[in-house]
Amino acid sequence: MKDSTMPHAILPLMLKLKTLREIGYDHDFTITPQGLQENTSGKIYKPEDIKIMSHFRDEGISNPDDMSILYTIVGKDGIKGTIVDAFGVYANASLMDFMKQVKDCSSYNL
């Protein structure tokens, strides 16, 4: 199901993050050995605690090494946020492994 509040145009990563914050994806996450950590509260989420709502692969305009992937996620507790990782060779292996275990509910990419 398509969320009409989500941006549809391909936007630079920083603008996309700003837009997502404006529509409620305002929490930032970091991968830790314990799981995905919400940066403000420090709460840890396991793969079964969150869902991927959408993802966007950004290919750097001037440098192919600048590729990244942006995930929008929603927790079972209703928290909405984002996490960004490098894409390809420079990706964080721990985050990649974690996200492979998360239910992907995205019906389209940002």
* Residues 44 and 30 sit within 8 Å (Cβ to Cβ): no
Mean pLDDT for the chain?
A: 84
Cβ 23 vs Cβ 6: under 8 Å: yes
pLDDT digits (tens, 9 = 90+) for 63-93: 556 688 999 999 999 999 999 998 878 889 9
Residues 26-37 have pLDDT tens digits of: 999 999 999 999
Q: What percent of the chain has pLDDT over 90?
A: 60
Give pLDDT tens digits for 52-63.
Answer: 999 888 766 555
Task: Quote the tokens at residue 59.
Answer: 């290919």
What is this structure's pTM?
0.80
Domain boundaries, the chain: 13-104
